[in-house]
């Protein structure tokens, strides 16, 4: 049986953690579909607005050599996405393992024969940290330099 994998994420401010998930996923399936969560879904489910718009995030992910197909994720329920794509293995960062959301996901996918596989979460880099750094830089740029001649 062909292992069709699905790895979903915002993939905003693409970084090594994103690359690690996609690389590990491809090493564990024959065909990898990367789900890129839409701007609307990110606002609805996480309360964040991505820095990079959906079309650009999809283009970046589409060009990662580990990815065979890109899917815009526009619904919050992963089972609805599964009904459209019919993958048989779902990849997630291990920060979900053992959580209420992760256990629910495992139960729902087990009912339709989908295996959930967790990969190590990259602690050193995250979009949240990068977003915070950008906010700090932006805030610093908006503050006039103190003591500058002619300021």
HEC string of 83-95? HHHCCCEEEEECC
Q: 62-110 pLDDT, tens per residue?
A: 999 999 999 999 999 999 999 999 999 999 988 889 999 999 999 999 9
Q: pLDDT, tens digit, for every residue of 19-68?
A: 999 999 999 999 999 999 999 999 998 898 999 999 999 999 999 999 99
pLDDT for the residue 148? 46
Residue 17 — very low, low, confident or very high, per pLDDT cuts 50/70/90? confident
* pTM (2 d.p.): 0.82
| Torsion angle, alpha carbons of 68, 73, 79, 82, to 10 | -20
Structural domains of the chain, with CATH: 4-142 (3.40.50.620)
Q: DSSP assignment of 49-115, as one string?
A: --SS-HHHHHHHHHTSTT-SEEEEE-SS-HHHHHHHH--SEEEEETTSTTSHHHHHHHHHHHTTTPE
């Amino acid at each position: 049986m062909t292992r069709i994998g699905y790895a979903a994420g915002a993939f905003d401010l693409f970084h090594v953690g994103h690359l690690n998930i996609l690389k590990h996923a491809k090493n564990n399936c024959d065909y990898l579909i990367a789900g890129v969560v839409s701007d609307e879904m990110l606002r609805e489910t996480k309360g964040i607005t991505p820095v990079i718009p959906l079309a650009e995030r999809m283009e970046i992910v589409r060009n990662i050599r580990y990815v065979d197909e890109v899917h815009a994720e526009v619904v919050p329920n992963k089972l609805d996405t599964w009904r459209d794509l019919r993958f048989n293995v779902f990849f997630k960062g291990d920060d979900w393992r053992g959580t209420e959301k992760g256990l629910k996901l495992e139960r729902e996918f087990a009912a339709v024969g989908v295996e959930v596989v967790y990969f190590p979460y990259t602690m050193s880099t995250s979009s949240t940290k990068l977003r915070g750094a950008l906010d700090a830089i932006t805030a610093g740029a908006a503050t006039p330099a103190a003591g500058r001649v002619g300021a």
